[in-house]
Amino acid sequence: MPLSSVTQLLAQAQAGGGTRELVDSLARTPLSKVVMFVVALTVVRLALRPLFAKASAPHLRGTGYALGRFVDEMLDAFIYAGVFVFMLIRPFGVQAFLIPSGSMWPTLYVNDFIVANKAVYRYSNPKVGDIVVFRPPTTAKLSPDQVDAQGEMKVDFIKRCVGAPGDVVEMKKGVLYRNGMKVDEPNKALSECTDVHPEAECQNFRMLSPDEKKQLTMASFKLVKYNDKIIPLNYTELDANSPSPRVENFVESQAPYHVAEDFQIPDPEEQKKARNLPAEKIPDGMYLMMGDNRNNSFDGRGWGLVPREWIIGRSELTWFPISRLHITR
């Protein structure tokens, strides 16, 4: 990380980015910049070494020498920290991630910092119920700034794993079933955004009352083989994977589902055909992820499955803000 990058991060925090954005930026610093930072500090340290080696006794007692020794020790600390944290701990151990959306509320709040265990999936596979950090497919794109110059997603998502290879996962009017058995979901929420003037991602939510939940048109879901591809299918009695899902009872901002453009089926006759297809198993090497905040989460129901190699780690705990410190399960 060159000095200019450090300056940019500090300027961002001072300009209103805040502590959360600064910590998140540091946690996501590319390894190439870390290497440049470590090399630059090493060069400076080597340049100072001859001065200390030639120092005479009077210099040893001087303020300048003491200051130089302090700088040398600080450089040494930064070098070791850069190597240990960014080249060993972050790639192979744990990493901090900032929660950008409310899709996992109330398990995770917007702007929570979580610690993801990256080592656990080096010797095991994700399990149903794990809260997983992963790189999403491009079908999950909601805005152009989520994609890099090569057209690949440059953001990480965090959701709960609800299906592993070989599982048949379905939702029947909002109720989750796995391999034909109803799933108990103590962390699932149906919520409403309470922001007065939401400009982008909603920051605050409240649980819907039982009466409000009854007003929602709850969609069903399954994976189906359509046009020789396994796709996520969301459907109600009115339509299936429609670009503009209809509702039985109008509830503001609560469409029954949201499907990525790649999987939308505009033709009503094709929708009927897809709705009658049997549910498919999750293929080998793939996983299905959903958010706990079920009616406020754009997840695997809308954009599909996640390959095993795109999975980064398992959320272990929330560590910042301190008031939110807890194990994530």
Report the first-to-last Cα separation within the chain, whole angstroms.
34
**For residue 40, which phi and psi values (nearest 5 degrees)?**
-60, -45
- Give catalytic status of residue 159 as yes or no: yes
Query: Biggest alpha carbon distance in the chain?
Result: 92
d(CA 124, CA 310): 14
Residue 98: CB atoms within 10 A of its CB come to 19
Give, in degrees to the nearest 5, the angle at Cα 188 between 185 and 194: 170
d(CA 40, CA 161): 42
From 101, 118, 141, 159, active-site residue? 159
- Give catalytic status of residue 32 as yes or no: no
From 103, 191, 220, 297, active-site residue? 103
Strand, helix or coil for residue 53: helix
221-255 burial: b if 16+ Cβ within 10 Å, else e: bbbbebeeebbbbbbbeebbbbeebeeeeebeebe
- Preceding amide of 321 cis, omega within 30: yes
d(CA 90, CA 205): 32
**For residue 286, which phi and psi values (nearest 5 degrees)?**
-125, 155
256-278 burial: b if 16+ Cβ within 10 Å, else e: bbebbeebebeeeeebeebbeee
Instruction: Look up residue 14 and give its DSSP letter.
Output: I
d(CA 230, CA 306): 13
Q: Which residues are catalytic?
A: 103, 159
